[in-house]
């Protein structure tokens, strides 16, 4: 890999970590009249899971185009998982950011599963490519 590819990979990993942090912080978002208007009886809005489902697989696929290595392609996914797990359990000041409810499971499912599928697609294309 060239120096440019290493820099792009570093930006992708930092981007995955920042996105995971923002997705965690906005996970309890709901229509309660504070940030969003009061509507639908204060219903939860898991927009973080939608953002995770769209951005994390994209980061994995872009990282997979940089090199044919498994760790290079999986680096954004690993960074995302580490930030969600560590910051979610041991948040700022010891707060528990990742609550034990359906929104946490939805965030993990929407972030990790499509990214694992994208990682499998990257691996299938690199293994099928002639050497």
Higher pLDDT, 124 or 98: 124
pTM of the predicted model, to two decimals? 0.85
pLDDT at 40: 65
- Evaluated on CA atoms 14, 16, 22, 28, the torsion sign reads negative
What are the φ/ψ torsions at residue 63 (nearest 5 degrees)?
Answer: -65, -35
In which element (H, E) is residue 99 found?
Answer: none
Of the candidates 11, 16, 10, the residue with the CA atom closest to the CA atom of residue 76: 16
Q: Give the pLDDT of residue 36.
A: 58
Average pLDDT value for residue range 56-83 = 91
For residue 43, name the pLDDT band (cuts at 50, 70, 90).
low
Please determine, for residue 75, whether its predicted confidence score (pLDDT) is greater than 90. yes
């Amino acid at each position: 890999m060239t120096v440019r590819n290493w820099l792009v990979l570093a930006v992708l990993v930092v981007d995955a970590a920042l996105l995971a942090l923002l997705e965690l912080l906005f996970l309890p978002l709901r229509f309660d009249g504070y940030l969003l208007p009061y509507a639908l009886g204060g219903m939860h809005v898991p927009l973080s899971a939608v953002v995770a489902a769209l951005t994390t697989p994209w980061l994995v696929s872009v990282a997979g185009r940089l090199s044919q290595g498994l760790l290079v392609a999986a680096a954004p996914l690993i960074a995302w998982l580490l930030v969600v797990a560590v910051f979610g359990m041991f948040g700022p000041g010891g707060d528990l950011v990742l609550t034990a409810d359906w929104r946490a499971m939805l965030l993990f499912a929407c972030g990790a599963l499509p990214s694992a599928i994208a990682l499998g697609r990257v691996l299938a294309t690199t293994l099928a490519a002639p050497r």
